[in-house]
Amino acid sequence: MIEQLDALLAQLDALQERALRELEAINSLAELEDWDVRYLGRHRGELKNFSTLIPKLGKAERPVIGQKINAVKEKLESALETRRQELRDRELREALERERLDVTLPGRALPAGHMHPISRTILEVARIFTRMGFQVVQGPEVETDYYNFQALNIPVDHPARDMQDTFWVVPGEILLRTQTSPMQIRVMQATRPPVRVIVPGKVFRHEAIDASHEAMFHQIEGLLVDERCTMADLKGSLARFAREMFGEDRRVRFRGSYFPFTEPSAEVDIDCILCKGSGCRLCKYSGWLEILGSGMVHPRVLREVGYDPRKYRGYAFGMGVERIAMLKYAIGEIRLFSGNDLRFLRQF
Ligand code: 2U9
C-alpha cells in the first residue's frame, strides 16, 4: 500500500512539473484554454483521472492523495491565472503599441486652391475704385449690336465694327461683347446721375493670337457722370489709380487719343516700372508704358441714354486686365493666363 501511495504522489508531482513546464511555453490565450481543459478539465482533465482513483484506495491513503490532488490543483490554477494575466497584459501592450497615435505629428495639409492672377488683379483694381465711391457691376457677355456699338457712337464704317473682328451669334444683331461698355449704357438707362460704376468682365475679339493678344480677355471699364465733372476729375482719379496700382513714385502722363465714345480722349502712361524711364525692351525704349484709355463721355452717348449733355458731364476709362497683370507681375506671354499650367499659376 505504501509503495502504491508513493507512486501516486510521485505521478502527481510529475504531472504538476510537466503542466507547469508546458504552461511556461504557452504564448496565446487560445493555447491557454486548451491547457486548462487538458489538466484541470472537469470531465477528462488529467487531475480528474486521479480523483476517480480515490475510492479504490485504502481508508488511510485517501485523505493523503485527496490533499495532494487539491494542492496540485491549487498550484496549477494559480499558475494558470498568473499566466493568463501575463498574456492579457502582453496583448494589451501590443494593441496599444500597434494603434499608437503620435499627437505631436504635424497635421496633413489639405490641398487648397487660390485666386487666379486675373481675378486677383480685378479685385485689386476694384478695391482702388470702390474706395473712391465706385460700385462694381457686371453685365451679359452676349449683347446686341445696339448696346455694343450703336449706343456707343461707333459708326458703321468704324474698324471696331468690322464683321471680321466681332464674334457674331446672329450676324448684324447678336454678338459676344467686344468691350464691357454696353453695361454702362444699361446702367445709365436704368438710373439718373450721379453714376459711378466700374464694370469688370470677359470680352471677345476675333483677332490673330500672339504673346499679347487673345480672342478672349478681360476688361475693366469705369464711368462717372455728374454735374460739374471735368477733365481735371478724370486726370486726378486716374493718376491716383495709376499710383495706387503701380507705386506712389510713378510718373503719370496723359496723351491725346481718339475713341468714338469719348471726346476729348486720352491714353494714360506711367514711367516704365523696369527702367524707370531711361528706356528698355519692356517700354520699347520710350520710357513709358500705356496702362489705360480714357476720355470725357461723348455728348451723343449721353443724349442716347436720355441725359442732357448741357447739364451732365462724364468721364470714362477702360483697361485690359491681362495687360495690367502682365506689367504688374512682369509676365511676357498673355496665353499663360488661360493655359492652366499649375507651375505658372502657383507663383501667385
Ligand atoms: C461709356 C462711355 C465711354 C470706355 C473707354 C477706353 C477708353 C479704352 C481700351 C483699353 C484697353 C480697351 O481693353 S482695351 O483694348 N479701352 O481705351 N475705354 S474710354 O469708355 C466708355 C465706356 C462706356 C458709356
Span 263-314, pLDDT tens digits: 999 999 999 998 988 999 889 999 999 999 999 999 999 999 999 999 999 9
Confidence of residue 58 (pLDDT cuts 50, 70, 90): confident
Does 339 reside within a domain? yes
Confidence of residue 49 (pLDDT cuts 50, 70, 90): confident
Boundaries of domain holding 169: 117-345
Q: Is the CB of 294 under 6 A from ligand 1?
A: yes
121 & 71 share domain: no
Q: State the total domains in the chain.
A: 2
Q: What is the pLDDT of residues 201-260, one digit of tens each?
A: 999 999 899 999 999 999 999 999 999 999 999 999 999 999 999 999 999 999 999 999
146 & 84 share domain: no
Does 105 reside within a domain? no
Q: Is the CB of 153 under 6 A from ligand 1?
A: no
125 & 70 share domain: no
Question: For residue 93, how far is its CA from the centre of ligand 1 (angstroms)?
Answer: 75
Give residue 197's pLDDT.
Answer: 98
Does 112 reside within a domain? no
Q: Is the CB of 195 under 6 A from ligand 1?
A: no
Give residue 1's pLDDT.
Answer: 61
199 & 290 share domain: yes
CATH code at position 188: 3.30.930.10
Q: Is the CB of 184 under 6 A from ligand 1?
A: yes
Ligand 1, atom nearest to 292 Cα: 10
Confidence of residue 3 (pLDDT cuts 50, 70, 90): confident
Q: What is the average pLDDT across 112-136?
A: 96
Confidence of residue 157 (pLDDT cuts 50, 70, 90): confident
Q: Which of 98, 133, 159 is the last residue of a domain?
A: 98
Q: Is the CB of 197 under 6 A from ligand 1?
A: no
Question: For residue 168, how far is its CA from the centre of ligand 1 (angstroms)?
Answer: 20
Question: 133 versus 47: which is more confidently predicted?
Answer: 133
Q: Is the CB of 301 under 6 A from ligand 1?
A: yes
Does 32 reside within a domain? yes
Is 31 annotated in some ligand binding site? no
Question: For residue 317, how far is its CA from the centre of ligand 1 (angstroms)?
Answer: 5
145 & 70 share domain: no
Does 271 reside within a domain? yes
39 & 122 share domain: no
CA distance 295 to 211: 28
89 & 166 share domain: no
Give residue 163's pLDDT.
Answer: 64
The listed range with the strongest mean pLDDT (28-32, 235-239, 339-343) is: 235-239
Does 108 reside within a domain? no
Give residue 57's pLDDT.
Answer: 83
141 & 233 share domain: yes
Ligand 1, atom nearest to 320 Cα: 13
Q: Which of 98, 126, 151 is the last residue of a domain?
A: 98
